């Protein structure tokens, strides 16, 4: 597919201040990570892979061709960086995954026969429930 280590070198990281609860610590520390990946200038991905990613992730890529992902789950900048890397690699792998084409199989004769037999049995059972004709 692609080499993860080489791809990680192409990522740009930016530390920003995290939002939400956390008291005074949040106001002092930039622990949230913003990871950006320029799809156009990537040397790891080939042109075909770039096109597939553009199609499948068109709603996540901005007009500059950047795929941006933010992570502020942890209070640690290093943990957030690792989480962001794992997430973006997982997103790229899922975009490049090609699902196998399903080959429709023929229904076995035994299964068809069993279904028709059950229908016949049900028909007879319901016919026996009706009131007898006195003609």
Write the pLDDT tens digit of every residue in 64-115.
Answer: 889 999 998 888 889 999 999 999 999 999 999 999 999 999 999 999 999 9
In a domain, 33, yes or no: yes
Which residues form the domain of 63?
4-96
In a domain, 18, yes or no: yes
In a domain, 114, yes or no: no
Report the C-alpha gap between 29 and 17 in whole angstroms.
6
- Encoded tokens for 60: 């996540």
Full strand arrangement of the beta sheet holding 12-16? 12-16, 32-38, 66-71
- Of the candidates 81, 80, 49, 53, which has an alpha carbon nearest to the alpha carbon of residue 67? 53
In a domain, 91, yes or no: yes
In a domain, 107, yes or no: no
In a domain, 74, yes or no: yes
Q: What is the mean pLDDT of residues 31-41?
A: 91
Number of domains the chain contains: 1
Q: What is the mean pLDDT of residues 28-51?
A: 90
Range scoring the smallest mean pLDDT among 52-56, 83-87, 95-99, 129-133: 129-133
């Amino acid at each position: 597919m692609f080499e993860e280590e080489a791809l990680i070198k192409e990522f740009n990281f930016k530390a920003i201040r995290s939002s939400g609860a956390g008291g005074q610590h949040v106001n002092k520390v930039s622990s949230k990570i913003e990871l950006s990946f320029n799809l156009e200038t990537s040397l790891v991905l080939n042109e075909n892979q770039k096109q597939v990613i553009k199609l499948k992730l068109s709603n996540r890529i901005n007009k500059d061709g950047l795929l941006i992902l933010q992570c502020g789950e942890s209070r640690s900048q290093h943990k957030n960086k690792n989480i962001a890397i794992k997430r973006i690699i997982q997103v790229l792998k899922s975009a490049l995954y090609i699902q196998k084409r399903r080959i429709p199989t023929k229904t076995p004769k035994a299964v068809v026969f069993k279904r028709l037999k059950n229908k016949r049995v049900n028909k007879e059972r319901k016919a026996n429930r009706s009131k007898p004709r006195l003609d």
